[in-house]
Amino acid sequence: MPVPDVLVADDAFLLTINLMKSYAGESTKGSLKTVFDYKLNKACHIVENSLGLSASVFRIFRKPLNVKPSTAEDITLACIYLHYFLSRNSTTKQLHSPPGTPNFLKTLTMVQ
């Protein structure tokens, strides 16, 4: 079943039609609300870790991008493609993704 794209956030953000955040208040253990909150929290952590890993590799993500949204999308996609290329190329793999280093592309695909 097709699902619309949404943003995951914490309680600091206002709830909108394209934003998902956890339920307010306490939920009973094992309830659907508790399960939803757990899975949403897990998705938030995966996204935060992926962004942290990409910022550690690509310095451009260490500060706000002061560009048009379309340019920011192009920069992000270019970094993802570059990361993919560097981690798959036999001569650069050891330098870019040494053994034991998490791969943020694999982490991102776990969210979907």
Supply the pLDDT for residue 70: 94
Supply the pLDDT for residue 44: 83
Helices (H), the chain: 32-57, 69-88, 93-96, 104-111
The CA–CA distances, whole Å, from 26 to 20, 31, 40, 88 equal 17, 11, 15, 45
- What pTM, to 2 d.p., does this model score? 0.60
Rounded to 5°, angle at Cα 90 from 49 and 108: 20
Residue scoring higher pLDDT (23 or 105): 23
Q: What is the mean pLDDT of residues 29-56?
A: 83
Contact 45, 102 (CB under 8 A): no
pLDDT in tens, 53-88: 788 888 898 899 999 999 999 999 998 888 878 777
